[in-house]
Structure 1
Amino acid sequence: MNDVGVCHCRMCRRWGGGPWMALQAPGSLVSGDTLVVYRSSGFAERAFCGRCGAHIFHRPQDGPEQAISAGLFNITSLQVKREIFYDAKPPYYRFETASEKRSTASMAREWLPRILHRRIVRWLTKAPAPRH
Structure 2
Amino acid sequence: MTDQKVKSGKCACGAVTFKVKAPDTYGACHCEMCRRWCGGLWMGVVCDEIVEIDGPVEEWKSSNIASRGFCSSCGSSVWHKPKQSQNFTFGQGLFDDQKGWTLSREICTDDQPDHYALADKGQKAFTGWGTLMAVLTGRLPK
> Over aligned residue pairs, what C-alpha RMSD do you find?
2.1
Q: In structure 1, what is the equivalent of residue 15 of structure 2?
A: none
Bigger Cα displacement from structure 2, 55-64 vs 7-16: 55-64
Tell me: CA distance 1:21–1:30, structure 2 relative to 1, closer, same or farther (3 Å). farther
In the TM superposition, 1:30-49 aligns within 5 A as: 31-49=53-71
Partner of 1:76: 99
Q: Which amino acid aligns with 1:4?
A: Y
Q: Give yes or no for the alignment of 1:12 onto 2:34.
A: yes
- Segments of structure 1 that go 5 or more residues without pairing to the other structure are 115-132
Deviations 1:1-41 (A, max 9, x none): 11110000000001112100011103425633310111010
- Are positions 1:107 and 2:131 aligned together? yes
Find out whether 1:89 has 2:112 as its counterpart.
yes
CA contact (8 A) 2:109 2:126 kept: yes
Higher strand proportion (structure 1 or 2): 2
> In 1, distance between residues paired with 2:81 and 2:70?
12
* Same amino acid, percent of matched pairs: 29
Paired residue secondary structure (1:93): coil
Aligned residue-pair number? 112
